Amino acid sequence: MVSRVEQAVATFEAGYTCAQSVFVTYADLFGMDRETALKLSSPMGGGIGRMREVCGAVSAMALLAGLKEGNTDPANEEGKENIYLLTRRMAEKFKEQHDTIICRELLGIEGMEESAKPSERTPQYYEERPCLKVIATAARIVEEMLL
């Protein structure tokens, strides 16, 4: 498979959230159409609803892991454990490069954003944020661990 890391980064540069950028780049490989993938991942941006909690790129990795290895049987304790372990391993790989999976810590801000309104995408926006690197990291982890 040809790497899609640059495609994920370009999707963010086109205005999509970090979560959408990672998720939509790979969702088709697991049978999901683009529009559904964009809708499903849209609330995860900004650290879940711009609350600056778990990074949207990390959330997207977890959602993709679910599409590949997710458990559908509520009685399957081993299946539940396996998807949790996979998600944890992916998050740990992310932490190895960025020290955290928390959006606000990645951005160097304190607490939740007061407004749910997204920031304007300007050249300064892209220069000041680690989002492009974070998205590339998440995309590489998806390719390494899920594909």
pLDDT computed for residue 5 by the predictor:
98
Evaluated on CA atoms 96, 99, 100, 104, the torsion sign reads negative
Q: Block means of pLDDT (10 residues each) for the chain, length 147 residues?
A: 96 98 98 98 97 97 98 97 98 98 96 89 94 98 98
User: In degrees, to the nearest 5, what angle opens at C-alpha 43 toward C-alphas 78 and 53?
Assistant: 75
- Rounded CA separation 28/111 (Å): 34
pLDDT computed for residue 53 by the predictor:
96
CA distances in angstroms from 35 to 23, 25, 28, 38, 50, listed in the order given: 11, 12, 10, 5, 21
Domain coordinates of the chain in residue numbers? 5-146
pTM: predicted TM-score of the whole model, two decimal places: 0.96
Structure tokens at 140: 């590489």
pLDDT computed for residue 1 by the predictor:
83
- Cβ 136 vs Cβ 81: under 8 Å: no
pLDDT computed for residue 2 by the predictor:
96
